[in-house]
Structure 1
Amino acid sequence: MKIQGKLFMWLSLFLLIMACVYGLWSKEPAGTTALFLAFGLAIMVGFYLGFTARRVDAGAQDNKNADVADDAGELGFFSPHSWQPLSLAIGGALAFTAIAVGWWLLYFSAPLVLIGVYGWVFEYYRGENRTQ
């Protein structure tokens, strides 16, 4: 993870320089703001990856002499199926549509988003310990 953190830090430096140059040359606020926001996102990701790299074991990507097979194995737990992202996607799409159509549409999107978030957070708290 150390190399990814360095890549994002270099990207953030590049974006900061480009934001300053673009802002001085173009005097256009929307593009300049977008570049500064991209700089902020890149530095947050770079800081997180750099901070996390100090706390976890070095991966194969941090070893210059590593083979592809050195990083093989289990990567973690991934949910085999879940309906909660569908509820969140529909609720989020309706919420963003509410900006263009009318704020009244938020009354229909908010419950879908809340149900999706609640279901996703507590998805694995149901199961063998659940009483029926």
Structure 2
Amino acid sequence: MKAEAWLFSGVAVFFAVTGGIYTWFSNDPAGVAALAVSFLMSALIAAFLWRQFGRGGYRPEDRKGAQVREAADRRFSFPARSYAPAVSAAGTALVGLGVVQGLWLALIGFGVLVPGIFGFVFRSGEGSS
């Protein structure tokens, strides 16, 4: 997680610097708000990744001499037959399209998204440790 934490920390610094320069030279409140929200969201992800790295240490992907079998003991893996990621992605796409196209499509998207979320939350224990 350390590489990802550094990546999102760099993105957060980029948005902070860009937002500061943009605020100084522009009178556009929408651009300032967009850059501020972008900074806050990337900083939130970076903080989460740094916290996870602090709790769990290096993953096998972070070490050069790691063996493939070390990555088999994952806590947050899904079984190969899990429908939750695909259903959640489809539901999220429909909700996003519904914001543009109309409420009817957003409601259908929420109807597709809810089973996907339940699949994530109440997944069976097979395939995970």
Identity across matched positions, percent: 26
Report if the CA contact (8 A) 2:98-2:107 is conserved. no
Greater Rg, structure 1 or structure 2? 1
Task: Give the whole-Å Cα distance in 2 for the aligned partners of 1:115 and 1:60.
Answer: 32
Q: Which residue of 1 aligns with 2:79?
A: 79
Residue 19 of structure 1: CA displacement?
Answer: 0.3
Q: Which residue of 2 aligns with 1:108?
A: 108
Q: Over aligned residues, Cα RMSD in angstroms?
A: 2.9
Report if the CA contact (8 A) 1:3-1:61 is conserved. no
* Misfit runs of 4+, over 6 Å: none
**Count of aligned residue pairs for this structure pair:** 121
**Which amino acid in 1 is paired with 2:110?**
A
What does the per-residue CA deviation read over 1:57-95, in whole Å, with 9 as the maximum and x for residues that have no partner? Answer: 345787xxx7x3x13333224431322333223322222
Report if the CA contact (8 A) 1:98-1:106 is conserved. yes
Secondary structure of the corresponding residue to residue 82 of structure 2: coil
Quick one: structure 1 residues 88 and 5, their matched pair in 2 at CA, closer, same or farther if it must change by over 3 Å? closer
What does the per-residue CA deviation read over 1:41-72, in whole Å, with 9 as the maximum and x for residues that have no partner? Answer: 2222222232233322345787xxx7x3x133
Provide structure 2 residue ranges, at least 5 long, that are not aligned to the other structure: none
Normalised by the length of structure 2, the TM-score is 0.68
Secondary structure of the corresponding residue to residue 21 of structure 1: helix
